[in-house]
């Protein structure tokens, strides 16, 4: 992995129908249907729309064996329409369903958090080492027959870990940490390696971009240490909808793509699934087209300092200058400061410049990149300053000339968010030198990037799933109603989840939650604690809003 110049991680090729993944293959984009898997015609038509939009794999939920069996009919309908896009069955809680689906799909997704372990109940469990090994043997005994079926049918497997559905067993031993998330995955991968079953893709997802990035970085490091080269699937789960969903996805996915990690991506938006594809394709094309080693590489003598930890980055220590640096929240500026600041980049950062900064800790440095490799230059300058022990605050200057607001959002988020996930910068100066996008809109984008990177919260955050065949209510309409009533609540996190698969787990990262419990029924949460169960859907939004108002008034 090259910190400064793009170099894609080398993985092995996985066969998935007629569309192989990994190795030298292009980075694939994909989506998931939100139709009922028992509605063959609706599912076929939605698969075709996703494929027509450019989707290269399409996932469908298979809650039970009926849905898994019906994948045969859906697959036949898609092929009859002349479409060869591989279909992926999404399985939770029931290994038998995975075994059935493997006969009719090109790939099956299983979740280590609930494949053998009981559904998460937030209980602390104590195991001796022998008891823990016995639990791992249960996984092996259940997984190996599934792998044998997949081998017979040439079906690939996705091991998909979600932060929101880690098992109580993993949580009890490792805590709610990237280490626990990664170990949940590695337990399954080690069995695949022993069985020499290599047609496996891995995903690790979270609604928190910092956890998602740190966990995936740790995973690829662990795989390298254990001689594994499985391709990886990237995504920020429950990213939301509209511009916030796009920005949050671009921050998390972009951070990893920038470092050459990622063989397929899904942008999870609470919208029609075919709308995800252009966003995903733009992100992939943008990152891979400009971060080339041939594009004026960052000087080779720039090295990462000993106190820079790519796996667990911490905020760079800086001197406070006014409202900038010194551990304060990152600032947003419209322009480069005229006084008290200097512009620099890795190509002009001379010993004389370093000596001047050492004598003048009150001077703010503006990282002003000279090439299209923005991240490489920003990161190199920050690390060079860390190597020299310079504690001057650092602002990153990003300039674009976009007339398309969505493209500006995706580019700026992919280029900038990772710098704040890593704690390298103390603020952002974002400018767009093209007509049609106001300074105020650009400023709001900068604040949204900081929030998506968990560096500064300035508005309500909505953690909402994209919906699938498990969704138990009108997701898009409900999101709109909740957002309209709560958008004024600064810094609050509200989760709006279609079903229980990740719902209660993601509540731990939200202040309040709205989760589909059964057809027409909703349960409400405060963090991960259920406060009301099985409320009629038509009453649930008003009851959630009333509870939030009462709860906030109690704490004022």
- For residue 542, the surrounding DSSP H or E stretch is helix 537-554
C-alpha pair distances (Å), 552 with each of 265, 547, 555: 38, 8, 5
Name residues whose C-beta falls within 8 Å of residue 555's C-beta, 6 or more positions apart in sequence. Answer: none
Q: Are strands 331-333 and 427-432 parallel, antiparallel or unpaired?
A: parallel
Note the pLDDT of residue 106. 98
Q: What is the dihedral of CA 248, 398, 4, 12, to 10 degrees?
A: 30
**Distance from the Cα of residue 105 to its chain's centroid:** 25
Residue 540 tokens, joined? 């649930």
Nearest Cα neighbor of 414 from 449, 447, 382 is: 449
- What is the rounded distance in angstroms from the CA atom of residue 457 to the CA atom of residue 440? 18
399, β-bridge pairs: 431
Residue 322 tokens, joined? 């006014």
Helix (H, G, I), strand (E, B) or coil at 376: helix
Note the pLDDT of residue 4. 85
- What is the rounded distance in angstroms from the CA atom of residue 371 to the CA atom of residue 5? 12
pLDDT at residue 292 is higher than 60: no
Note the pLDDT of residue 295. 54
Note the pLDDT of residue 49. 98
Q: What is the mean pLDDT of residues 445-466?
A: 91
Note the pLDDT of residue 241. 76
Q: What is the mean pLDDT of residues 117-146?
A: 88
Long-range contacts of the stretch 303-306 (C-beta < 8 A, 24+): 303/383, 303/387, 304/3, 304/383, 305/383, 305/386, 305/387
More confidently predicted of 234 and 494: 234
The single-letter DSSP state of residue 365 is E
Helix (H, G, I), strand (E, B) or coil at 482: helix
Nearest Cα neighbor of 461 from 482, 475, 478, 446 is: 482
Note the pLDDT of residue 506. 60
Residue 336 tokens, joined? 């480069």
The whole-model pTM stands at: 0.93
Note the pLDDT of residue 299. 67
Note the pLDDT of residue 341. 95
Nearest Cα neighbor of 106 from 146, 57, 66 is: 57
- What is the rounded distance in angstroms from the CA atom of residue 36 to the CA atom of residue 288? 35
C-alpha pair distances (Å), 515 with each of 60, 157, 166, 526: 20, 28, 18, 11
- What is the rounded distance in angstroms from the CA atom of residue 53 to the CA atom of residue 469? 20
Q: Are strands 200-205 and 156-162 parallel, antiparallel or unpaired?
A: parallel
Neighbours of 343 (CB within 10 A): 12
156 φ, ψ to 5°? -80, 165
Q: What is the dihedral of CA 261, 110, 184, 417, to 10 degrees?
A: 30
Q: Are strands 264-265 and 200-205 parallel, antiparallel or unpaired?
A: unpaired
pLDDT at residue 291 is higher than 90: no
pLDDT bucket at 501, cuts 50 / 70 / 90: low
Q: What is the mean pLDDT of residues 310-329?
A: 96
Nearest Cα neighbor of 238 from 251, 224, 248, 250 is: 248
Work out the end-to-end distance of the chain between its first and last CA atoms, rounded to an integer number of angstroms.
48
- What is the rounded distance in angstroms from the CA atom of residue 381 to the CA atom of residue 178? 28
Q: What is the mean pLDDT of residues 346-374?
A: 94
Average pLDDT, the chain: 92
- What is the rounded distance in angstroms from the CA atom of residue 546 to the CA atom of residue 263? 44
Residue 467 tokens, joined? 């919906």
Q: What is the mean pLDDT of residues 47-60?
A: 98
Residue 112 tokens, joined? 């280590």
Q: What is the dihedral of CA 442, 443, 446, 447, to 10 degrees?
A: -140
Q: What is the mean pLDDT of residues 23-40?
A: 96
pLDDT at residue 487 is higher than 90: no
Over the stretch 509-555, which tens digit does the pLDDT of each residue have?
788 988 888 888 889 988 878 899 888 988 888 898 899 888 888 87
- What is the rounded distance in angstroms from the CA atom of residue 432 to the CA atom of residue 86? 40
Q: What is the mean pLDDT of residues 95-107?
A: 98
- What is the rounded distance in angstroms from the CA atom of residue 186 to the CA atom of residue 220? 11
Note the pLDDT of residue 432. 97
Helix (H, G, I), strand (E, B) or coil at 373: coil
- Residue 65: exposed, middle, or buried by beta-carbon count in 10 A (0-12, 13-18, 19+)? middle
Neighbours of 459 (CB within 10 A): 16
Residue 94 tokens, joined? 């029931």
Q: What are the strands, taking DSSP E only, across 263-353?
A: 264-265, 331-333, 341-344
pLDDT bucket at 499, cuts 50 / 70 / 90: confident
90 close to 61: Cβ distance less than 8 angstroms: yes
pLDDT at residue 293 is higher than 70: no
178-194 vs 129-153: helix crossing angle, rounded to 10: 60
CA neighbours closer than 13 Å in the CB half-sphere of residue 454 = 19
Over the stretch 218-273, which tens digit does the pLDDT of each residue have?
999 999 999 999 999 999 987 777 899 999 999 999 999 999 999 999 999 988 99
């Amino acid at each position: 992995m090259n910190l400064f110049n793009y170099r894609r991680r080398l993985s092995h090729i996985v066969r998935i129908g007629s569309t192989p993944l990994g190795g030298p293959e292009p980075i694939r984009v994909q989506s998931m249907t939100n139709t009922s898997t028992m509605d063959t015609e609706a599912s076929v038509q939605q698969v075709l729309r996703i494929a027509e939009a450019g989707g290269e794999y399409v996932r469908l939920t298979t809650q039970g064996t009926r849905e898994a069996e019906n994948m045969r009919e859906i697959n036949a309908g898609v092929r009859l329409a002349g479409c060869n896009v591989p279909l992926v069955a999404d399985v939770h809680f029931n290994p038998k369903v995975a075994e059935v689906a493997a006969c009719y799909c090109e790939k099956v997704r299983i979740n280590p958090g609930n494949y053998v372990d009981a559904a998460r109940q937030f209980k602390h469990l104590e195991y001796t080492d022998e008891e823990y090994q016995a639990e791992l043997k249960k996984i092996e005994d259940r997984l190996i027959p599934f792998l044998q079926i997949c081998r017979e049918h040439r079906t690939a497997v996705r091991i998909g870990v979600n932060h929101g559905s880690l098992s109580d067993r993993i949580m009890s031993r490792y805590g709610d940490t990237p280490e626990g998330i990664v170990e949940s995955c590695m337990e399954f991968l080690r069995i695949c390696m022993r069985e020499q079953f290599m047609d496996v893709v891995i995903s690790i997802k979270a609604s928190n971009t910092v956890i998602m990035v740190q966990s995936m970085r740790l995973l690829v490091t662990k795989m390298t240490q254990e001689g594994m080269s499985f391709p990886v699937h990237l995504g920020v789960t429950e990213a939301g909808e509209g511009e916030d969903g796009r920005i949050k996805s671009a921050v998390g996915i972009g951070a990893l793509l920038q470092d050459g990690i990622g063989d397929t991506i899904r942008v999870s938006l609470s919208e029609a699934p075919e709308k995800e594809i252009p966003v995903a394709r733009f992100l992939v094309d943008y990152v891979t087209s400009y971060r080339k080693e041939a594009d004026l590489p960052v000087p080779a003598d720039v090295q990462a300092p000993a106190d820079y930890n790519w796996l667990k980055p911490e905020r760079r220590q800086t001197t406070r200058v006014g409202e900038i640096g010194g551990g304060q929240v990152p600032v947003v500026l419209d322009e480069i400061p005229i006084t008290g600041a200097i512009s620099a980049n890795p190509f002009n950062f001379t010993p004389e410049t370093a000596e001047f900064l050492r004598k003048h800790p009150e001077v703010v440095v503006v990282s002003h990149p000279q090439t299209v490799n923005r991240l490489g230059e920003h990161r190199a300058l920050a690390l060079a300053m860390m190597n020299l022990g310079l504690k001057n605050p650092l602002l990153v200057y990003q300039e674009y000339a976009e007339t398309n607001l969505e493209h500006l959002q995706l580019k700026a988020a992919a280029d900038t968010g990772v710098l704040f996930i890593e704690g390298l910068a103390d603020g952002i100066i974002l400018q767009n030198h093209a007509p049609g996008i106001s300074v105020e809109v650009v400023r709001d984008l900068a604040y949204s990037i900081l929030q998506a990177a968990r560096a500064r919260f300035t508005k309500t955050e909505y953690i909402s799933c994209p919906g699938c065949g498990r969704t138990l209510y009108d997701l898009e309409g409900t999101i709109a109603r909740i957002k309209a009533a709560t958008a004024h609540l600064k810094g609050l996190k509200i989760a709006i989840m279609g079903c229980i698969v990740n719902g209660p787990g993601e509540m731990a990262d939200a202040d309040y939650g709205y989760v589909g419990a059964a057809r027409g029924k909703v349960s409400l949460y405060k963090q991960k604690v259920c406060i009301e169960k099985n409320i009629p859907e038509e009453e649930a939004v008003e009851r959630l809003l009333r509870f939030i108002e009462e709860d906030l008034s109690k704490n004022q």
